[in-house]
A and B are shown apart, each in its own frame.
Chain A
Amino acid sequence: MAGRPGLDPIEEGKSYSALFVLMVAVLLVTAVWSIWDDNISRRPWKEYQVQWDRLAYDKYMKDAADEQQRLDADPEYQKVSKELAEARKERDSGASAAKLAALRGQLTDLNNVANDKDQLVRFTKSYLTERWYDYNHAVQEREDPGPYKKEIDQLNAELAQENIVSDQAKDNLQAVKDQIGALNSKVESLTDQMKKLTAKREDLLDKAGTWMIPVKFRNTVLFRYPKIPKIEQTAIDDFDRNAFDEAIARVDRCQSCHMGADKKGFENAPEPFRTHSNFEQIILKHPPEKLGCTPCHDGQGPAVSSVRVAHGDDPDWDSPMLRGDKMQSRCIKCHIDVGSLVDAGGKPIAANWVEGERMFQQMGCAGCHLVAGYEDLPKIGPYLKLASAKLDPSWTVRWITSPDDFRRYTRMPDFMFSREQATALAAFILDSSSKNSKEWLAAHPELATLEADVNNPAFVEEGKGLFESVGCKGCHAIDPREHATPVGVVSDLGPDRAFTAKDFAPNLSKIAEKTSAAWIYTWLKNPHDFSPHTAMPSLRLSDHEAEALTAFLMTHGKKREIAGIETALKDPEQIKKGAALVRKYGCFGCHEIEGMDKESRTGVELTTFGSKHLDELFFGNQTQIPETWDQWTFHKLQSPRIYATRDVEQLMPNFHFASGDIKNLVVFLAGLTQGRVQERYRMPGSEHQTQIVAGRRMVNYYNCVGCHIVEDRGGYIRRFYPGDEINFAPPILNGEGFKVQPEWLFAFLQGPTPIRPWLKIRMPTFHFTNGDDDTIVNYFTALSDVNVVYMFIDTNLIAPAELAAGVKLTTKDYFNCFSCHQQGDKKPEGPPSGWAPDLALAHQRLNPDWITKWIANPSALQPGTKMPSYYPGGPDDILGGNQDKQIRALVDYIFWLGTHPGEAIPVQAATAPVKSEVSKK
């Protein structure tokens, strides 16, 4: 090689082809890999979409085939298709076909002619426009427009002529078209009918075609290919706010795989294609195209690279997808009244959350843990500012050491105190309350000498009778194995562990061990005199009744003194130590304790507990517990000090919760999350909803459900009324807000007056404070969605004839109302189990609209009631046999009765001759 100067001949002579080939190969592999990686390996959703396309196609095709089968059996379809075939045949054969062919042949020619003629018209119009321009131009240029005017006149004449010819051609064309139309009309109208009949099938076929796209040749489908996969995403504007309170959009791509979630009909399809559960309530009311998925489900909305990542099941992702019952924890983010949310079948949607929330309130969790929205719950434990006037010192020490030993199902948790700690605590509690107690006892000198007559069996028996009849059993059990109102889930775990819940009120089987006869007596007579905020009501017991009940209760349990305890409890060192323990363990979270009013909660604030990161949860040495929020929380509730280590002390007491209750609490706690959903996405809350939520707390706090069924829950005392005795049980309060007048209910709660004097059970007098009674009245009216405060009938405006009709309807020959309903002091015949309230009391108590509905069909308002329904149509001889008028007359008469006390029934009504109408059958 005679190389150029400066070039190295050896270098020039080298071959790089091998390297070049290698590099090309690497480039090729990289290119292939990048395409594969970009389109296949990180796009698993594409595979899902193709699967979905086939699945949806198969389903819609099958539905279309089923629809076709239905059509084949439908006589109308048979008729129309037969007629259509006949009409087509008739049109396309014989003279008709020949005529049609001839007409179609003419049609082309005539169409051409008409177009030609029309074109001539248009051209002439164009010339005219041109000449007019010339004319105007000439005028403006001050030239002679005369020649143009002449041309214009000539063109106008031509146009008129051409218009005539063109119209004629159009008419000819239309005439032929009309003839063709007439020949076609029958086929066309039948085709329209056919389209209507087959609309559903065509819709299904169209749907099938959107997923498997057909490739057609002359109306025949050659093959189909799946729809090209595409990310399905919903962007929700301004759902979240960042740290600077700026709106950030949320993007959910879940439906890229969950293709069937928002479509009905895929209920049995495999995941991820299944129709969303509870479709009517969840999907129809929360359209995913507006609200996306993650606002309720959590998970990583925009991620589509793998199932695990998309579901947020990654240690680095803060909000893993919610599953199972835990889903219920999200409702509260947008709904005020979660307890009223029900599915299409009327079943609560968030039952576990509701139970968990109730548990949280009733177990006193908010006493130690601050949670926004639950700051003002009343303290659930007994009042201890007068403790030394009530408690037996030895019992107090034993109780603090291990509450479960005394009452297996108490709500008081186990702090696992040593005997020494318990003694110190008892010393402080009794000492701190001694000054108050002395003053209180000085104000009740009669108690010093009060002794229970426990040795008089008849008296004790009388007390027992009272205990079983006046209503104690709505809240308290007396047998150690019995339970009144449960707090928590009552699950049947076999004979030994049948009860896993807590008792709402103390089991009284060993009450005499705890306290004195004097205290029981005064407590029964007036609970609020001793404890200003107690939920325990007064049953308006007479002195004698209270004494008998006291005697009965004092036969349950006996004192067991710990030797030398009195001295130990007086030790100032112990008292000081006890005060420190009260402060450390936060006893004042549930109890009012003298000198501890200003202490603040000892537990951690839980307002955003559900959003806690894993690194904020201390697992201690418990490596066997999987590191998830759920597991940490479950084990914390199951054994609260499990995460304690040598250096980290834990103080939370053990509530001995059953696992069902823990699960519910976990659901509730999961709902305590950070961040607020923007106003526009929340369900606008009504006043009624707020009232319902507040009222439910009251109903739980005062345990109305111990005796009454409210919102289909409770009525625990009813099991003590077997068989026909159920008529002596407290009334069911479903629908109470519609039934009674709010004003009456308010007065009744303030001071109950008997409606059914023959009942032994008493509506207690509750000592409502802070407008709790208002809250309860509003709760019932809100539950029944009643807005009118008071309903009234002006009895002076009732026509005499109507009143007479009302009176007559109540008589023996008609509905004989007073066969069961009490009339003032006059009791009905027969045993009390068949008696019903005095109708004269109804005007103050009952809503006339309710009475109207009640008379017509009582079972619809209160299933199982003894009150029979009105005989449909009523008697023919009163008010023209018009049932509505008759019932109105009855309601009017009932109101007249109450507003005219002591007045005689109008004479003409009472003695009106009764024509007995015997019906035909």
Chain B
Amino acid sequence: MARVLVIEDDVETAREIVACLVAGGFRTKQCLDGEQGLKLALTDRFDAITLDRMLPGSDGLQIIKAMRAGGVATPVLLLSALGDVDDRVEGLRVGGDDYLVKPFAPSELVMRVQVLLRRHDPAPKTDLLLRVGDLELDLVTREARRNGRSIELLPMEFRLLEFMMRHSGQLLSRRIIFERVWEYYFDPGTNLIDVHIGKLRKKIDEPGAPSLIKTERGVGYVLNAV
């Protein structure tokens, strides 16, 4: 079971985050102080860290810098009330791995931590062929196949499918998909992502069979082997 270090000075928020993560299947260690959090990150082993951007006495960005300087590569999810593009860029530039703006939905937090963990798992990156059930994606020839049937994909659809296959079994919010696949950091509005998923579904699903991509209503999508 993955361990997550939660560095958050507000007791209520910290309790919420811990509750979300525990419900999402993580073990957590909570820390209300930036300095102590840094000590823990440097001395103990964690699979991921959620870090409040603004802590009393120390800036979250300073903590990331100190951690990275200390050779700790643990993925960090920055939590902040500052959602400006510049703030986000700066957070990611100093070594943060993802950025979540408060207030956030609990499911979004859990999803992002899961995505972070998968991204830091080195194995899939070296794969040349992704496989989920009978769906295959060849990253070299850039071809998709299901049950031997070749599937024509547009470049954007290819990237969307690659991302979902890399994170198969994980619940992914529309926002995460928009950020990771399209690399835009704004609210895509209405059902923009839904229609892209819908188009992809039509291409990869077998007629009459249940869809590989399931919709979790109000939360997001998950790609699973049927």
Tell me, yes or no, whether A binds B. no
